[in-house]
Amino acid sequence: MRVPERAVAAAAGWIGSAMLAVIALCAACATPPEVQVSYDESLDLSQFRTWDWIEGDALFVYAPFDPVAVKQQLSTLVEGALRQRGLERAPGGGELRVAALLVGTRHVESIRRARAMRTLFSHHDIGSYEVESDDVERRPIDRCRLAIYVTGSQQEKMIWQAVSELKHTGGCATHLDATVANLLASFPPPSPEGR
């Protein structure tokens, strides 16, 4: 039985594509994305020019490290990042409504390091090792979850959101500038016609 060359080429192409898809999927599972973005793909968010904070508590910060200062810093960073993307704040009349949520938790990781070791001789062919003593280093680690949400002017539904969850030493505030810039880097998303 003879197989047409086109069928062989098509099968080889399909197998190659399937292998690439599996490799990409494995790579995605191995390293979780730093930023997760979701949005309403039917809307062209690039058409909007004004924004305002969501009514109520638009900025919420829950953190064990100076939440009042972090809240002010977060407000300034979000406003600046949106201005860079061509959106001006229009209090009470924005086409878009924006909210930000920062939740930080602190825990201490203990790292043990051997300070001195000596060989213990045994009746076996190889010696065994025993740790005489060790140093314990305690390091505070902050887990910071930052989310930015965008709704329509009537706050009826979420039309864009980005979430980042990272671990930092020394608090979230020192990394907040880079995190906000990273979250808003994909805003606005491509228009439905441009995809």
Statement: residue 3 has pLDDT above 60: no
Same domain, 16 and 66: no
Same domain, 117 and 146: yes
Range of the domain at 136: 34-184
CA distances, 171 to each of 2, 90, 174 (Å): 68, 32, 6
CA-CA-CA-CA dihedral for 84, 90, 95, 99, to nearest 10: 70
Per cent of the chain over pLDDT 90 is 35
Same domain, 15 and 86: no
* Number of helices (H), then strands (E), in the chain: 3, 7
pLDDT of res. 150? 95
Residue range 52-87, pLDDT digits in tens = 999 888 999 998 778 888 899 999 999 999 999 999
Q: Which residue has the tokens 């969501």?
A: 54
> How far apart are alpha carbons 51 and 91 in whole angstroms?
8
Q: Which residue has the tokens 């016609």?
A: 193
Residue range 80-133, pLDDT digits in tens = 999 999 999 999 889 999 999 999 888 888 877 766 655 555 566 665 555 566
Instruction: Please name which of 50, 125, 38 lies closest in space to residue 82, comparing C-alpha atoms.
Output: 50
Same domain, 159 and 180: yes
Rounded to an integer, the average pLDDT of 158-187 is 89
Question: Which of residues 33 and 72 earns the better pLDDT score?
Answer: 72
Q: Which residue has the tokens 């730093």?
A: 34
pLDDT of res. 25? 43
User: Looking at the domain assignment, is residue 191 inside a domain?
Assistant: no
Rounded to an integer, the average pLDDT of 134-150 is 86
Q: How many domains are there within the chain? A: 2
User: Looking at the domain assignment, is residue 194 inside a domain?
Assistant: no
